[in-house]
Copies of this chain bind each other. A is one copy, B any other.
């Protein structure tokens, strides 16, 4: 495998680690929001009295939009980021030109951070879509490059 000394692999490792940190952070945002509103839980046992939930109530398992937004964002990361992480690795192993790797991988990272910001602040659907599209195209292009290289 390309090691951390290989410029192509480093572009990948920087991009992959950044996206992993973003996705991992979303879970903590959900935890923060559930803690703040003391609700937005999902399992029946989450409305039992416990040290962290001394005053439970049935409404705590009702959907709470403040929490649900973070869950929808997490779902969006889950649909997109693991696929990016694997496709990006195969792409750099296929030895593309460095500029192509920088464009696809850093382009993905930048637009996905903008997508995160747009979703978090409830921008118009159009804005969110515009920030999702470049990353979706980058993953598709990288996957096709890998397929063609392997055939």
Contact = CB atoms under 8 A, between A and B. Distances in A.
Given A45-B124, A122-B45, A24 B136 contact: yes
Interface in A20-37: 20-21, 23-25, 27-28, 31
A98 interface: no
A26 to B, nearest CB: 9
Interface in A35-52: 41-46, 48, 50-52
Interface residues on A, range: 35 or more
A83 B27 CA distance: 12
Interface string A127-151: 0010000001001100110110111
Contacts of A42: 72
A16 interface: yes
Contacts of A55: none
B140 A44 contact: no
B17 A126 contact: no
B1 A43 contact: no
Question: Top 8 closest A-B pairs, CB basis?
Answer: A1-B1, A17-B147, A13-B150, A82-B82, A20-B143, A17-B146, A85-B86, A46-B125
5 contacts: A13-B94, A24-B139, A50-B125, A52-B125, A78-B79
